[in-house]
Amino acid sequence: MERYTNSREDIIIEVTDNKLCATMTIKRDGGVIEQDEIISLINQAGISNGFISSINQEGEKEFNHPFKIAEIQAINQEVVLDLYYKTDELYYPKTPLNETNIFRLVYVQKGSAIGKLTYDEDMMSKKDVYGKYLLTLEGRNNVIDKYKGENIDFDLNTREYIAKISGYLSLASDGKYSIINHLIIKHDINRDYGNIYIIGNLTIQGNVKDVRHIRVIGELIIEGDVFQSNLYAEHGIVIKGLLEGCNSGGVTSPKSIKCAEVKNSKVFAGEDVFIEGNVTSSKIVGETSIQVKDSGEVLASDLQSSRYIKVGNVKNDDHTVSDLEITVSPYTKEQLMILTRELVYFNENDSDNEKIPIIRREIKQLEEKLSNKVEEAIELENNNSLMIETRGQIFPGVKLKILKESMIVDDDSFKNKKIINLTRMM
């Protein structure tokens, strides 16, 4: 309790520890007390808020007994979050990201509210008898921060927590809510884990084996090896280990794809393909370019790009000839072929399927896109930007094609060359 007195100590003001109440004691034997002296002591104490009208308590005043001069009603500091979603719809750090679980998780759009704080109406604005806020700025922030995790804002007007980005609503062990758009699997996965469909980015810190489908509307990063799996990522794929046996649906992205090494697999990129090591018995499509490191070897593989192919050594095996081709929009052609096969399947086996009109629209869009690419290719036919660059040796028997011109390598003259026009090479 804080205590203030005048010089004669016949006027005493006391303020409770919680600063919600101030009392005054006037001693009878103190002689004549002027009103200005009382006002002066009140000012000295710094009391400026919550004064009680003397009319309302005239009968309660007694000499030598404290009476209230200022009082603030206490506030209820209990804070409750009214979450707009069920707890079983939230992503928890150890939640498996398989197909069964991911579809029940709530995905929140940027700018939408996830919940509202409930607390005393005056909690953020009420002041003590000194005129200071009962809840300091730091205290207010602590109240808000109790539930506020990553990628979450708080609206003081509506008292709602707002998503700063689009993503999955997550609850951490400390009780804070966050919006997560980069999910992580910290172990190997296989067929038992199930298919994965993620909106956002996904990192798998392990190997992937025999997974039928991983589909990511974001970027996909796999830190281990990938075996016999089908991958698709809207914003690019990075595989830091070996890619092997992915020759069914293959590995596809409208953006770029990076791999350490590729064996017996299909890789389709709408932009660039970067390969650190060898390419063996595989089909690689990079719409803009395919770039294999100089130390990497291409063996019995088919490489297609619309602009640029860079390779080290290129060889054939006993059964398959390597084929390097600059052609019109190979990525679009592959997507068109896949959709056409799907449409034929539905027409023959499930003619009422609701996907059929959607597939037809997508096929029409791809056909229009391919037509435009053909027009572009005509203009670029004699352009030096269309190139097959060799940093090693292209062995005899390898097929080369740049748009309409094609040839089969028959000697060792294609080492360390930039091949722009096959006609002039022959």
Q: Are residues 50 and 112 in the same domain?
A: no
Q: Are residues 205 and 158 in the same domain?
A: no
Query: Is 407 inside a domain boundary?
Result: no
Specify the number of domains making up the chain: 4
Asked whether the beta carbons of 296 and 276 are under 8 A apart, the reply is yes
Is the model more confident about 206 or about 1? 206
Query: Is 119 inside a domain boundary?
Result: yes
What pLDDT sits at residue 177? 95
pLDDT of residue 28 exceeding 80, the answer is: no
Q: Are residues 194 and 218 in the same domain?
A: yes
Round to whole Å and give the CA distance between 361 and 71: 72
pLDDT in tens, 90-140: 999 888 998 888 889 999 999 999 999 887 666 667 788 888 877 666 666
pLDDT of residue 381 exceeding 70, the answer is: no
Q: Are residues 142 and 189 in the same domain?
A: no
Q: Among the three residues 180, 200, 228, which one is the final residue of a domain in this structure?
A: 180
Q: Are residues 352 and 368 in the same domain?
A: yes
pLDDT of residue 425 exceeding 60, the answer is: no
pLDDT of residue 376 exceeding 80, the answer is: no
Q: Are residues 155 and 100 in the same domain?
A: yes
pTM of the model: 0.77
pLDDT of residue 426 exceeding 50, the answer is: no
What pLDDT sits at residue 424? 52
What pLDDT sits at residue 237? 98
Domain that holds residue 26: 2-71
Round to whole Å and give the CA distance between 210 and 230: 9
Pair of tokens at residue 292: 């294999």
pLDDT in tens, 145-184: 889 999 999 998 898 999 999 999 999 988 999 999 999 9
Q: Are residues 192 and 230 in the same domain?
A: yes
Is the model more confident about 118 or about 384? 118
46 — alpha (psi -120 to 50), left (phi > 0) or beta?
left
Query: Is 45 inside a domain boundary?
Result: yes
Query: Is 419 inside a domain boundary?
Result: no
Question: What average pLDDT does range 345-363 have in this prediction?
Answer: 83
Query: Is 402 inside a domain boundary?
Result: no
What pLDDT sits at residue 55? 46
Helix, strand, or coil (residue 362): helix
Q: Are residues 92 and 115 in the same domain?
A: yes
Q: With the CA atoms of 206, 210, 215 and 219 taken in that order, what torsion angle do they form, in degrees rounded to the nearest 10?
A: 30
